[in-house]
Homo-oligomer: A and B are copies of this chain.
Amino acid sequence: MKAITYHGPKDFRVERVPDARRESDGDAVVRVSKAAICGSDLHLWHGAMPIAETGFVVGHEFVGVVEDVGPEVRTVRRGDRVLASALIGCGGCAPCRGGLWSGCSVFRARGGQNVFGFSTALPGGQAEAVRVPYADTNLFRIPQDLSDEQALFLTDILPTGYMGTELTEVGPGDVVVVLGCGPVGAFAQRSAQLRGAARVIAVDLDEARLARARERGCETLNPKTADLSAYVAQATEGHGADAVIEAVGRGELLLKGVEIARPGGRVAVVGVISEPTQIPFLSLFLKNLTLRSGLVNPQRYIPLLVPLIRAGRIDPTEIISHRLPLTEGVHGYEIFASHAENALKVVLEP
């Protein structure tokens, strides 16, 4: 089958790989209809992650149709239209039963790789087909009235953006700052509105992205031209923001978030910060802050996000800027990495 594979930083290739096949009785194989390139795929692209292997299929955002299921699988069948959680768990261990599939003991015991598309152990979804382990836990049927594209971002970034508002306990009347207007930031902004935020302040350096944030009802601020701390102070009578969500993945933004949060505020990081970051303990102490981060568990958020999409309260497709055939996926990476052509989210079609 055809797939996009990793061969080193900026060396991704569309090539033929062995067909996806079941390896265990709980596996399913999914024929991919749509896949997407995620900001965390760019970490691979830029060489920001230490990866020893090469040749594996990349991508962890995909939807498709079940092609084969093992004898242990109960909840999906051949022909079902499904989405897979980007991050998988066994479903039976203590962390999985407790709702933290990202901490699955089974995968931890094997060395920990439970996100699609970062290893040969768990090949990704930018391909014609994918093997999905523990299908009962990790596949979700797509309701008839949802298109593939409407379901696609439930695999990762819509839950990730929403998680930002859960980790910061956004509630009615809150002033929320979202640092970053990329796909995850956009969904964090939408989620904050859905949870009743009075004001959502969206921050980015990219004016095109800020314009889109304004369209979705946010106030916007470009740190190149205005001072965020002063803006937040003015907006909150000097108290600070109730919630701050870092959706870029830069240590300095986390520090800024801690600075602009109010006493008793909550700060969450849903971007992936790879550089070492010194969190000033004293601010946490003097301001009674809560600081959280974490791998997303889409399994947890899908049941509440699906009805919101069906009811039209969220339209996840608003972030799609490009649709390309899988065979042009490398170009997709290039424009997404460079913000060329105002690329915000690239969808691939095998």
Contacts and interface: CB of A to CB of B under 8 A. Distances in A.
Interface stretch (A13-21, A261-269, A315-323, A324-332): A261-269
Number of copies: 4
Given A284-B294, A288-B103, A307-B175, A264 B71 contact: no
A278 interface: yes
Contacts of A306: 173
Contacts of A52: none
A105 B291 CA distance: 22
B74 A26 contact: yes
Interface residues of A, number: 69
Interface string A276-307: 11111110111111111111000000011111
A279 B295 CA distance: 18
Contacts of A195: 172, 195-196
Interface in A160-213: 162, 171-175, 191, 194-196, 198-199
Given A196-B194, A198-B308, A281-B254, A239 B172 contact: no
A197 to B, nearest CB: 8
B288 A290 contact: no
Interface stretch (A56-64, A91-99, A120-128, A224-232): A91-99
Given A74-B92, A95-B264, A172-B305, 17 more contacts: A71-B71, A71-B72, A92-B136, A94-B237, A100-B264, A103-B287, A105-B238, A172-B194, A173-B306, A196-B313, A254-B281, A273-B285, A276-B281, A284-B291, A285-B295, A290-B290, A290-B292
22 contacts: A72-B72, A98-B303, A100-B263, A100-B264, A102-B288, A103-B264, A103-B287, A162-B172, A198-B311, A254-B281, A269-B284, A277-B281, A279-B279, A284-B292, A285-B294, A285-B295, A288-B294, A288-B295, A289-B292, A289-B293, A290-B292, A291-B291
